[in-house]
Amino acid sequence: MIDERLTIAGHEFKSRLWVGTGKYKDFVETQKAIEVSGADVVTVAVRRVNITDRTQENLLDYLDPKKYTILPNTAGCYTVDDAVRYARLARAAGVSDLVKLEVIGDERTLFPDTAGLIEAAKILVKEGFIVLPYTNDDPIVAQRLVDVGCPAVMPLAAPIGSGLGIRNPYNLKIIMETVNVPVIVDAGVGTASDAALAMEYGADAVLMNTAIAGANDPIAMAEAMKYAVDAGRLAYKAGRIPRKLYATASSPIEGML
Amino acid sequence: MDIHLNGESRYLEKESTIAALLQELKIRSDQVAVEVNLHIVDKQDFASRQLQEGDRVEIMSFIGGGAESSLSVTEA
- The predicted structure's pLDDT at residue B52: 92
Check whether A62 has a pLDDT greater than 60: yes
For chain A, positions 15-54, list CB contacts with chain B under 8 A.
19-24, 27, 30, 43-49, 51, 54
- The predicted structure's pLDDT at residue B74: 33
Using one digit for the tens of pLDDT, what is the confidence trace for A97-109? 999 999 999 999 9
Element containing residue B11 per DSSP (H, E): strand B8-11
Using one digit for the tens of pLDDT, what is the confidence trace for B1-48? 899 999 999 998 888 999 999 999 888 888 899 999 999 999 999 999
Check whether A34 has a pLDDT greater than 60: yes
Using one digit for the tens of pLDDT, what is the confidence trace for A107-123? 999 999 999 999 999 99
Check whether A68 has a pLDDT greater than 60: yes
- The predicted structure's pLDDT at residue B67: 53
Which position among A14, A32, A67, A100 bears the catalytic label? A100
Chain B, nearest residue to A42 by Cα: B66
Average pLDDT of span A128-140: 97
A100 catalytic per annotation: yes
Contact partners, residue A101, CB within 8 Å, separation at least 6: A73, A74, A83, A87, A117, A120, A121, A124, A131, A132, A133, A134
CA distance B9 to chain A (A): 12
% of chain A residues with pLDDT over 90 = 80
Q: Is B66–A23 a contact, with Cβ atoms under 8 angstroms apart? A: yes
More confident residue, B65 or A203: A203
Q: Is A54–B71 a contact, with Cβ atoms under 8 angstroms apart? A: no
Q: In a 10 Å sphere around its CB, with 0-12 CB exposed, 13-18 middle and 19+ buried, how is residue A101 labelled?
A: buried
Mean pLDDT of chain A: 93
- The predicted structure's pLDDT at residue A60: 82
Check whether A77 has a pLDDT greater than 90: yes
Instruction: Using CB atoms, pick whichever of A91, A92, A110 lies closest to residue B73.
Output: A110
A164–B contact, CB cutoff 8 A: no
CA distance B58 to chain A (A): 7
- The predicted structure's pLDDT at residue B69: 47
**Which chain A residues are closer than 8 Å to B27 by Cβ?**
49, 54
pTM over 0.80: yes
Q: Is B63–A20 a contact, with Cβ atoms under 8 angstroms apart? A: no
- Angle at which helices A218-238 and A192-201 pack, to 10 degrees? 20
More confident residue, A1 or A3: A3
Q: Is B43–A92 a contact, with Cβ atoms under 8 angstroms apart? A: yes
Q: Is A45–B67 a contact, with Cβ atoms under 8 angstroms apart? A: no
Using one digit for the tens of pLDDT, what is the confidence trace for A190-231? 999 999 999 999 999 999 999 999 999 999 999 999 999 999
Check whether A26 has a pLDDT greater than 50: yes
- The predicted structure's pLDDT at residue B70: 44
Check whether A162 has a pLDDT greater than 50: yes
**Which chain B residues are closer than 8 Å to A108 by Cβ?**
74
| Single-letter amino acid code for the residue at A72 | P
Q: Is A160–B76 a contact, with Cβ atoms under 8 angstroms apart? A: no
Contact partners, residue A84, CB within 8 Å, separation at least 6: A120, A123, A124
